[in-house]
Amino acid sequence: MLNQILQPIQPQIGRFEERFKKTLESDVKLVQAMGDRIMETRGKILRPALSLLTAQAIGECSDRAIDAAIGIEIIHTATLIHDDVVDFADKRRGTEVLNLRWGNQAAVLMGDFLLARALQVLVGLDSMEVMRAATRAVGRMIEGEIQEIQGGVEAESAIYFSMIDKKTASLMALSCEVGAILGGGTPEQVAQMSTFGKEVGIAFQITDDLLDFTGDEESLGKPVGNDVRERKLTLPLIRALGNCQNGEAERIQAKVRSGIESDEELQEVFHFVERYKGIEEAREEAKTYATSGLKNLLVLTTSDARQALELAVRHVVDRDR
């Protein structure tokens, strides 16, 4: 994450990193080996940043808020490990995924182990409010992921938005909700920060789906075109299909449905999406969600932490990885 975003919570990030590593420790060799690999391939820590900054912007970013951020980042890590099994992925963050190195069985069980550890950390906070929100978010993420695998090639934006709200936005909403609870927010502030996280989460996933068309493998750390290859219809393609009024749309959709077989076919789908304004429109929609999310920050008084949250939102839609 950009230094400027983390600046108001620099001491807390230091403690977060130390304790995150400790939380993954295990006396089972294979679990420790996979935990070490996870430590070597850390992500952007966007969710912990949102959580800690929210706590700080509302009141205080305490040790409890740090523990909550650890729980949330571990849940996130678990979901990506399971997602890589579900998606038959072989690369994430520039390196081979756990399922490729240790096989599906070990990877799935490691995801389960992480989920258990995360819940253990959250239980330690002794807050029913946090537990209720966390278990609800986990359930919704699983529903979203299942919705995605069964949704297949349905070119419907309503299904797409419901799915990304569940699989991605629910954890971002949780990050901000829990930050607000532990920062000592009023019920109104907690609700608004949850909405903030949800809208930023939707903007994040649309951007992720855009990067699958416009990004490059080097900066992304994973191959582009994966979604189309996996027969997933994400917003850029859904919008392009909707904008195309001739038979080409049916042909492209049939191609994606039956499975892309060559790089040429993939390029054809990419050009179609560009030509029928799928990229342009999806980018606009991501920005609209980001702007709508930002409005929720108005319940907070101005502070460095609030400014950093604003910057984080801009980063979510402007990033290249």
- Give the integer Cα–Cα distance in Å for 171 and 76: 8
- Among 87, 177, 199, 285, indicate the residue that binds ligand FPP (CB under 6 A): 87
* Helix (H) / strand (E) containing 69: helix 63-86
90 part of the interface to ligand FPP, by CB under 6 A: no
Q: Which does 199 bind (CB under 5 to 8 A by kind): Mg ion, ligand FPP, none?
A: none
What burial letters (b/e) apply to 115-141, b meaning 16+ CB within 10 Å? Answer: bebbbebbeebebeebeebbeebbebb
67 part of the interface to ligand FPP, by CB under 6 A: no
- Among 141, 244, 256, 309, indicate the residue that binds ligand FPP (CB under 6 A): 141
71 part of the interface to ligand FPP, by CB under 6 A: no
What is the total residue count of the chain? 321
Q: Which does 255 bind (CB under 5 to 8 A by kind): Mg ion, ligand FPP, none?
A: none
Which position has the token pair 């416009």? Answer: 214
Structure tokens at 318: 């402007």
Closest to Mg ion by CB, 88 or 298: 88
Instruction: Give me the least distance between CB of 138 and ligand FPP, in Å please.
Output: 5
5 part of the interface to ligand FPP, by CB under 6 A: no
297 part of the interface to ligand FPP, by CB under 6 A: no
- Give the integer Cα–Cα distance in Å for 223 and 318: 19
83 part of the interface to Mg ion, by CB under 5 A: yes
CB-based burial of residue 90 (10 Å sphere; 0-12 exposed, 13-18 middle, 19+ buried)? middle
Radius of gyration of the chain (CA): 20
181 part of the interface to ligand FPP, by CB under 6 A: no
137 part of the interface to ligand FPP, by CB under 6 A: no
- Among 34, 78, 81, 87, indicate the residue that binds Mg ion (CB under 5 A): 87
- Among 12, 54, 79, 170, indicate the residue that binds ligand FPP (CB under 6 A): 79
110 part of the interface to ligand FPP, by CB under 6 A: no
Binding characters for ligand FPP, 187-226, by CB under 6 A (x = yes): ---------------------x------------------
Helices (H), 124-277: 128-151, 157-164, 170-182, 187-214, 217-220, 226-229, 235-243, 248-258, 263-275
- Among 78, 200, 203, 233, indicate the residue that binds ligand FPP (CB under 6 A): 78
Query: Contact region for Mg ion (CB under 5 A) — 81-89, 110-118, 240-248, 249-257?
Result: 81-89
How far from chain centre, in Å, is Cα 104?
22
Closest to Mg ion by CB, 87 or 199: 87
- Give the integer Cα–Cα distance in Å for 70 and 306: 21
- Give the integer Cα–Cα distance in Å for 232 and 257: 9
- Give the integer Cα–Cα distance in Å for 111 and 51: 22
Which position has the token pair 């938005």? Answer: 161
109 part of the interface to ligand FPP, by CB under 6 A: no
By the criterion CB under 6 A, which residues form the site for ligand FPP?
Answer: 78-79, 82-83, 86-87, 111, 115, 138, 141-142, 145, 167-168, 208
